Amino acid sequence: MKGIFFWPSGNRHDFYIPSGTNFQLSTTHYKHTGEDSLVVALKGRDRSAFAYLYDNYAGALLGVITRIIQKEEIAEEVLQDTFLKIWDRIDSYDREKGKLFTWMLNVARNLAIDKTRSKEFSKERQTGGLEKLVGKIDTQEKIELGVEVIGLQDLLSKLSEDQQFVIDKHYLKGYTQSEISEEFDLPLGTVKTRMRLAMQVLRNLLIK
């Protein structure tokens, strides 16, 4: 779980403590035995494994959903739907096709996009998403984490302008690569290679 290192310590009290005895197991077990044993536990419909999954990924997924949906209330609804779908469909997850987080991310993104297409929802992209959302996240991080984590803005500032552009459009504004290509009149191949270069830079910064 690469993302765990910056997990807000203030949220620890939110951990679900099962009525049984395996609280220790549920929170520490998978760090040692890895993603495969977590998946096995989930497929075995282990409630504490699911709680662990939520505690570790709900934030990242809500970030993704919120950036597509733009409305906090609806985004949390979609987050709940996402985890219910993960719970119901875990048997269809196949490690051969990618990591568990990637699979969950696709579930979340698809549900969020479906939501934006529903009648109750009128799609309106906000302008200045990067500045506003990064600002919001930074504020949150400062409140909850203190200063031990490099700010997202600092991280993105390591990218070239072109690279920042595609990361911003996709990860912060929820554009697909085709949408970026169409709206900003860039060849799809160019969007792809820029995205690749951007990810390589981030990889070196994020994964040590």
Partner 1 sequence: MNVEAYIASGILEAYAQGQLSSAERAEVEKYLNTYPALRKELDAIEDAQEALLQRMAIQPKSSVKESLMAEIDARERTRIPSAAETESFNWKWVAAAAIAFAVVSSYFALDYRSRWKTSARELSNLIAQNQQVAKDYNTVNERLDRLEMDLNIVNNPAFTRVVMKGTEQAPSALASVYWNQTSKEVYLSIQELRELSADQQYQLWAIIDGKPVDAGVFDLTKGRLLRMKSVNTGAVTFAVTIEPKGGRPSPTMETMQVAGNI
| Cα–Cα nearest to 141, from 154, 159, 128 | 154
Which residues from 3-32 bind partner 1, rule CB under 8 A? 3, 6, 8, 11, 14, 16
If binding is defined by CB under 8 A, does position 64 make contact with partner 1?
Answer: yes
3-state secondary structure of 57: helix
**Residue type for 194, please?**
R
> Min. distance of Cβ 123 from partner 1 in angstroms?
19
Beta-carbon contacts of 149 under 8 Å, excluding residues fewer than 6 positions away, are 6, 141
User: Which of 41, 42, 58, 111 touches partner 1 by CB under 8 A?
Assistant: 58
**Residue type for 8, please?**
P
Q: How many residues bind partner 1 (CB under 8 A)?
A: 67
d(CA 190, CA 175): 15
Comparing CB distances to partner 1, the nearer of 15 and 121 is: 15
Which residues from 111-130 bind partner 1, rule CB under 8 A? none
User: Which of 20, 33, 37, 84 touches partner 1 by CB under 8 A?
Assistant: 84
d(CA 175, CA 25): 39
Which residues from 149-168 bind partner 1, rule CB under 8 A? 149, 152, 155
User: Which of 114, 131, 144, 183 touches partner 1 by CB under 8 A?
Assistant: 144
